[in-house]
Amino acid sequence: MNHLAMKNIVLGISASIAAYKAADLCSKLTQLDHQVHVVMTPNATEFITPLTLQALCGNPVLVHLSDEKNGHIGHIELADNADLLLIAPASANCIAGLAQGLAQDSLGSTYLATKAPVVIAPAMNGKMWEHPATQRNVELLKQDGCHFLGPESTGRLACGYEGAGRLLDTQVMIDELHKWL
């Protein structure tokens, strides 16, 4: 049973091998009766297709700003109507772009336009996660009011290393999201 009222969640997906987990996250949020709208970076489509996510959430997936037609500015509408912007997975590149305020793609543009709470779930190689530049960017985003979920502090990474950097388990993320919903 859903303990939360239906919310409008914008799920942002960046280019990470963990993007496949976004399908499970999208499905679970939809099953909890949330309205889920997906925004992907173009490079994220190399890891999971927009069609998969559209089938799971029942809404069109925004990838390219150039797809916004007939005066319809989809990223602004998504940003205005969001109760929560959840970026999962957030790659090091995505985190850097958000921290610097870059609107280089539909996800960055949606982030800059929203007044909704922002929750970021990082996923990357442990060395990338621990790099001082990434940690500076995380601190900048926290100063801007963003909340972070993860990454896991230990575990096997896609690159074969063991350590920090894994995307949190989807159910753990959903349980933690109760704080922001």
Residue 68 contacts by C-beta under 8 Å, 6 or more apart in sequence?
A: 62, 74, 75
Sign of CA dihedral 37, 166, 174, 94: negative
| 159 given a catalytic annotation | yes
Tokens of 115: 């007044």
Is residue 147 within 8 Å of residue 173, measured between CB atoms?
no
- Residue 13: C-alpha distances to residues 1, 5, 71, 110 (Å): 27, 24, 25, 12
Backbone φ, ψ for residue 133 (5° rounding): -65, -45
Is residue 58 within 8 Å of residue 22, measured between CB atoms?
no
26, 94, 146, 159: which one is catalytic?
Answer: 159
Helices (H), 19-131: 21-31, 50-57, 74-81, 92-99, 106-113, 126-130
Q: Using only C-alpha atoms, what is the Rg of the chain?
A: 15
Write out the catalytic residue numbers.
Answer: 159
